[in-house]
Structure 1
Amino acid sequence: MKVFIDLKWFFLQEKKSYLTGTILLSIVAFFGLLPPKIIGMIVDEISKQTLTAAILMKWIVVLIVTALIMYILRYYWRIMIFGSSVKLARQLRNRLYYHFTKMSSSFYQRYRTGDLMAHATNDLQAIQGVAGSGVLTLVDSLLTGGFVVIAMAATISWKLTLIALIPMPFMALLTNYYGSLLHKRFHYAQAAFSSLNDKVQESITGIKVIKTFGQEKEDIAAFRLQSEDVVKKNVAVARVDALFDPTISLIVGTSFFLSVAFGARFVLAGEMTIGELISFTAYLGLLIWPMLAFGFLFNIMERGRASYDRVEKLLSERAEIEEDDRALSVVPSGNIVYDIESFTYPNEVQPVLRNIHFELRKGETLGVVGKTGAGKTTLIKLLFREFEGIKGNLLFGGKNIQDYKVDRLREAIGYVPQDQFLFSATVGENIAFGAPAFGQAQREAVAKMAQIHNDILQFSEGYDTLVGERGVALSGGQRQRISIARALILNPEVLILDDALSAVDAKTEEAILHSLKQERTGKTTMITSHRLSAIKHADLILVMDQGTIVESGRHEELMEKEGWYQKMYMHQQLEELVEQGGKHLE
């Protein structure tokens, strides 16, 4: 019953619906007692040869009216109880979705996408079953069972009732044991389903890579193994689930045997009439559902408890970014100052950034370069508080970034990441994702700045062309430029291009940077890149190595230092000359 206690908050919230449904259910259970009693009375009338057409018609009318009343009440209690259970699923689904949007990237490193999807589908369905079928089976079995036992004992024979109930304690013990087994096995089954869900999602997303490396057979084999594991664990659940019905049927059969055997003796002894014995066996037939319902109830409860524990564990995960109640609800603007002694990722020991000190004035452009893994992306992401754990200060507009509300801080920043993500929508909808109210003119303006407008006009449907899942229908350079346009349409205070020009050619890169310089006067830009041509125009260039700044200055200053920057720039210039020469020779 623990899961009912866990869901107490919801039952209190929907107490009116559940109370109404329970009252209607109890009326239905009460009316359900009439047919067996009436049948017994008619049998006694027949045995006494006193049954007349009028008496028979009277009881037939009573049965018809009873059936109609039960029909109507059953319709409404289902709306009350099952309708409320749908509300529970909706609330939990909304809570999960809101929770997902508040979690940082480290959360998604710990949990796989398929696992999260399983929580939002299979687990919620099991929990909804508790609030719907679970409540029904609990209330209906108790009410129907209680009314039937009272009717048997009070109107027919309390002695025969006690005899018929002798096997019941054995059923309670066995179903409780089955329930504990079911809880454990269902938990494993849900975990296996999560893994399979994640495998499918990962394989479909990476189908191009799988085909490129010719790993279709291996991937199918891996899927088959996981699918077999899901089947194995669900069969283990089914084996326990299958024990409920035979056990209950055996108990019910034993009760029927005892009732008929001892009831016949009571009839012969004159303690009961044949009609009463028939009514008693009919009542005993009504007890079959409550007994089966208890089996269903244990099944539903244990499935729901396992799923609720999984969902609660997920919801108990705390967001790493905690916002102060007194945080400023203004969009920051102004100079950006990094004064960081060190930064360490959560649950890590070694810092990834050390001694980061520089100032970027409003309207200036920052370029960040360095080897792979030097800390360029981490440096950028600290600005919009993707991580906590900074030792030192990071100021934006003269105030620490922690002094702003997270939403307002990020509203000031347009971010184009290394790994561009496009939604399964049209090109125009992807560009206007952050500002859906903007019309075609604004969409085309930023597309021109990002040098993607002419490409879009060549698409089959222009701006209404569907890009496919994650932009699969586009080239890498097209995805990058659409992502840049999506950031530009917000006209952010700070535009961050995190190696976002790597898939475009040098000519297109130069055109994009020229457009940004012209159109974003007075706005700050931050660019990380492996290609130095993308940042040589910057007002401040940082060269990073192993999480610290090893060189800084303008392009001309760094060239004079004859350090890593100068050597890498000359190397890339030589590569470009060779490439141009190769084209010339062709």
Structure 2
Amino acid sequence: MKVFLKLGWFFKERKYQYTVGLFMLVLVAILQLVPPKIIGFTIDEIGTRTLTKAGLFKWLAIIIGVAIAMYILRYYWRQMIFGSSNLLARILREKLHRHFTQMSPSFYQKNRVGDLMAHATNDISAVQQTAGGGVLTLFDSLTTGGFVILAMAITIDWRLTLIALIPMPLVALSTSYYGKLLHERFRHAQAAFSDLNDKTQESISGMKVLKTFGQQQQDVADFTKLSDEVVEKNMRVAKVDSLFDPTISFVVGLSFMLSLGFGTKFILEDAMTVGDLVTFTTYLSILIWPMLAIGMLFNIVERGSVSYDRIERILNTPIEIDDKLDAIEENPSGDLLFNVKSFTFPGDAAPTLRDVHFELKRGETLGIVGKTGAGKTSILKLLLREFEGYEGTIQFGAHNINDYRKSALRQAIGYVPQDHFLFSATLYSNIAFANPRASMEEVRAAAALANIDEDIMSFTDGYDTIVGERGVSLSGGQKQRISIARALLMKPELLILDDSLSAVDARTEEAILHALKEERKNATTIITSHRLSAIQQAHIIIVVDEGTIIEKGTHEQLMALEGSYYEMYQLQQLENLVEQGGDHDGE
């Protein structure tokens, strides 16, 4: 029952709704005692031949009135209690989603997407059921059971009531034992569902790769194995769950047997009437629900407890990169000073970056080149404050980037990553993502700078074309240019292109770079690229190898050194000549 204490914050927020709803439940519990009593009176009057037509109609009118009152009360308590539980689900979903948006990349390296989705769906559903059905079964079982037992003891016979309750301790002992088993098994079942959820998400996202390599059958086999594990673990839960009702039915059967046996004895002794025994057994049948509710309660509460613990674990995961209390609200602008002596990714043994220093004046362009894994993207991740814990400083304008609010820093940076993510929405919505109120003219201007406007206008629906999930309906070059347009629409102080021109041809690349040079004369740009043609015109070029800068200068200066940059340039020139020669031979 600890989960109710953990949810105390919510019950306080909704105390009015829960108080009114539970008060209505009490009224229903009292009103449902009336019909059995009337039935007993009627039977006794029939037995003594004193029942009149007017008396019968009176009893029927009372029963109908009670039924109408219970109908109304049950309608409204459901709105109060179940309506509140729906609100709890919404609050938890929003908390989780807000928490997800604040977490750093290391969080997503440790937690699988499918598992996080399970927290936001199955786990929240179980907690919602606790705040709705759990509260109902707890309070209704106590009130209904309590009032029924009092009615049996006070209005009929206290001795028979005690006799009927003799088997009841079996319910408490058995349900307590079943509850412990249920808690442990449901925890394993939820974990198995998370694994299945993760597998499903991964398979759907990687369907093109699966088909390309012909691994559909193996993937189905892996999915089936995980699905079987989910079924097996849920069957273990169901086996415990299925013990509640038979156990309670057995106990109720014992109570009925004792009640009928001793009730008959009391009638023969004139200690009670036949109508009293009928009323007593009717009350006893009403008592079945509170006992069944106890079994349901353990089921609901244990599921909710496990799920709430899982949700709390995620929500209690500290935000690794957070704003200072006095963080600067205004967007940064000005020169960029990068001075990092050492940086190591969480969990890595060796440093990723070592002695990386450069200064970039406002309006200048920095080119970063290097082999795959050299550390180019790592530099950008530090600039974006995706990671901290480095030795050194990064200054943007007059302040350290850690002094700005994260939102202010990132509003000043237009970032186009290597992995171009597009939403399943219109092309207009994708480009206007950072500024949903942008006019069509502004969106088209940004698209023109990215050299994608003509492509979009060639589509049947133009900017209203719906993009498939992650942009599956577009070519790699189109996705890159749409991502660039999205960043340009922000008019960022700092534009970062992280190998974002790799999928476009040389002519398109040249057009984009020329447009950026004209448009962003007073704004700073950083370009990382394997293709040196993308960064030849940069004011500063740094060559990164094994996490450190091995060469720095302009294109001309680096060519004069005849070092790594020179070798890369000569190799790419040779590759271009080979490609051109191949094309010539094939004509």
The bucket for the TM-score relative to the shorter chain is: over 0.9
Rounded Cα–Cα distance in structure 2 between residues aligned with 1:68 and 1:425: 50
Aligned to 1:422, the other structure's residue is in SS state: coil
Separation in structure 2 between the aligned mates of residue 48 and residue 241 of structure 1, nearest angstrom: 48
How is 1:449-528 mapped onto 2 (pairs within 5 angstroms)? 449-528=449-528
How big is the shift at 1:460? 2.1
1:34-81 deviation digits (Å, cap 9, x = unpaired)? 111111111111111111111111111111111111111111111111
Shift of the alpha carbon at 1:290? 0.3
1:148 equivalenced with 2:143 (yes/no)? no
Counterpart residue identity of residue 329, structure 1? E
Task: Report the Cα offset of residue 561 of structure 1.
Answer: 0.7
In the other structure, the counterpart of 1:213 is 213
Distance in 2 separating the partners of 1:457 and 1:155: 84
> For 2:497, what is the secondary structure of its paired residue?
strand
Amino acid at match of 1:442: E
1:339: Cα distance to partner?
Answer: 1.3
Alignment of 1:353-372 (within 5 A): 353-372=353-372
How far residue 113 of structure 1 moved from its aligned partner, in angstroms, is 1.2
Give CA-to-partner distance per residue, 1:66-118, whole Å, 9 cap, x none: 11111111111111111111110010011001001101111111111111111
In the alignment, residue 549 of structure 2 is paired with which amino acid?
A: I
SS of 2:338 mapped into structure 1: strand
Which residue of structure 2 lines up, in the alignment, with residue 331 of structure 1?
Answer: 331
Tell me whether 1:24 sits opposite 2:43 in the alignment: no
Question: Quick one: distance in 2 between partners of 1:488 and 1:217?
Answer: 44
Give the match for residue 540 of structure 1. 540
Deviation at 1:357, TM superposition (A): 1.3
CA drift of 1:347 comes to 3.4
Amino acid at match of 1:529: S
Mapped to 1, the partners of 2:236 and 2:75 lie a distance apart of: 36
Q: Tell me, in whole angstroms, the C-alpha distance in 2 between the residues paired with 1:309 and 1:565.
A: 54
Instruction: Read off the aligned partner of 1:331 and give its amino acid letter.
Output: N
Q: Structure 2: which amino acid aligns with 1:39?
A: I
Amino acid at match of 2:441: A
Aligned match of 2:260 = 260
Residue aligned with 2:474, SS: coil
Query: How many angstroms does 1:390 deviate by?
Result: 1.6
Provide the rounded CA distance (Å) in 2 between the counterparts of 1:77 and 1:417. 52
Task: Give 1:584 deviation, angstroms.
Answer: 2.2
- Whole-angstrom CA distance in 1 between matches of 2:252 and 2:348: 61
Distance across 2 between alignment mates of 1:125 and 1:68: 32
How far residue 427 of structure 1 moved from its aligned partner, in angstroms, is 1.1
Q: Once the two structures are superposed, what CA deviation does each residue of 1:345-384 show, in whole Å capped at 9, x if it has no partner?
A: 2233321111111100000000001111110000011112
For 1:203 and 1:288, the matched residues in 2 are separated by 47
Question: TM-score, normalised on structure 1?
Answer: 0.99
Partner SS state of residue 317, structure 2: coil
State the SS of the aligned residue for 2:487: helix
Give the drift of 1:583. 1.6
Question: 1:322 is matched with which residue?
Answer: 322
1:531-558 Cα deviation digits (max 9, x unpaired): 1111111110010111110110001110
Residues 42-57 of structure 1 aligned to structure 2 (within 5 Å): 42-57=42-57
**Structure 1: how far apart are the matches of 2:152 and 2:447?**
80
Structure 2 CA distance, aligned partners of 1:424 and 1:136?
41
Aligned to 2:284: 284
Q: Is the 8 A contact 1:498 1:529 kept in 2?
A: yes
Residue 199 (structure 1) aligned with residue 204 (structure 2):
no
Letter aligned with residue 111 of structure 1: N
Are 1:575 and 2:578 counterparts? no
1:230-309 mapped onto 2 (5 Å cutoff): 230-309=230-309
Q: Counterpart amino acid of 1:22?
A: L
**Residue 248 of structure 1 contacts residue 292 of structure 1 at CA under 8 Å; is this kept in 2?**
yes
Could you tell me how far apart the structure 1 residues matched to 2:501 and 2:486 are?
14
User: Which of 508-517 and 339-348 deviates more?
Assistant: 339-348
CA–CA distance in structure 2, aligned partners of residues 421 and 339 of structure 1: 30
Structure 1 counterpart of 2:248, one-letter code: I
> Counterpart amino acid of 1:576?
N
1:118-147, Cα deviation, whole Å (9 max, x unpaired): 111111110000110011111111010000
Q: Which runs of 5+ in 2 are unaligned?
A: none
Q: Is the contact between residue 346 and residue 389 of structure 1 (CA under 8 Å) also seen in structure 2?
A: no
Amino acid at match of 1:362: R
Post-superposition offset of 1:173? 0.5
d(CA) in 1 for partners of 2:250, 2:510: 82
Task: State yes or no: 1:85 paired with 2:51.
Answer: no
Percent identical among aligned pairs is: 62
What is the CA distance between 1:457 and its match in structure 2?
1.7
Partner residue in 2 for 1:349:
349
Q: Using the TM superposition, give the Cα deviation of residue 320 of structure 1 relative to its aligned residue in structure 2, in angstroms.
A: 1.1
Pair 1:312 & 2:312 matched:
yes
Q: Aligned AA for 1:21?
A: G
Q: Provide the residue aligned with 1:184 in structure 2.
A: 184
Partner of 1:563: 563
Distance 1:215 1:130 in 2: 42
Question: AA paired with 2:289?
Answer: W
Matched residues in 2 for 1:52 and 1:441: separation?
87
2:340 corresponding residue in structure 1: 340
Match of 1:400 in 2: 400
Deviation readout 1:267-304 (Å, 9 max, x if unpaired) = 11111111111111010011000000000000000000
Letter in 2 for 1:176: S
| AA at the equivalent of 1:557 | Q
Q: 5+ residue gaps in structure 1?
A: none
Contact 1:85–1:129 (CA<8 Å) still a contact in 2? yes
Is the contact between residue 442 and residue 489 of structure 1 (CA under 8 Å) also seen in structure 2? yes
The one-letter code of the counterpart of 2:99 is: H
Q: Distance in 2 between matches of 1:395 and 1:212?
A: 46
**Secondary structure in 2 matching 1:347:** coil
Q: Does 1:138 align with 2:131?
A: no
Q: Residues 372-411 of structure 1: matches in 2 within 5 Å? A: 372-411=372-411
Partner Cα distance (2:161, 2:483) in 1: 75
Pairing 1:10–2:10 present: yes
C-alpha distance in 2, partners of 1:257/1:533?
Answer: 92
- Distance in 2 of aligned mates of 1:266 and 1:347: 77
Helix, strand or coil for the counterpart of 1:66?
helix
1:58 counterpart residue number? 58
RMSD (Å), alpha carbons: 0.8
Distance 1:44 1:114 in 2: 64
Count of aligned pairs between the two proteins: 586
Residue of structure 2 equivalent to 1:69: 69
* TM-score for the superposition, normalised by structure 2: 0.99
Q: Using the alignment, how far apart are the partners of 2:531 and 2:137 within structure 1? A: 67
- Give the AA of the match of 1:503: A
- In the aligned structure 2, how far is the partner of 1:396 from the partner of 1:247? 70
Q: What one-letter code is carried by the residue in structure 2 that aligns with 1:388? A: E
Offset of residue 398 of structure 1: 2.3
Q: Give, in angstroms, the shift of residue 439 of structure 1.
A: 1.2
Secondary structure, aligned partner of 2:368: strand
Whole-angstrom CA distance in 1 between matches of 2:455 and 2:22: 63
- Higher mean C-alpha deviation, range 474-483 or range 109-118: 109-118
Question: Distance between the aligned counterparts of 1:423 and 1:143, measured in 2?
Answer: 52
Q: How does 1:408-419 map to 2 (within 5 A)?
A: 408-419=408-419
2:239 and 2:228 mapped to 1: Cα distance?
16
Counterpart of 2:253, as a letter, is: G
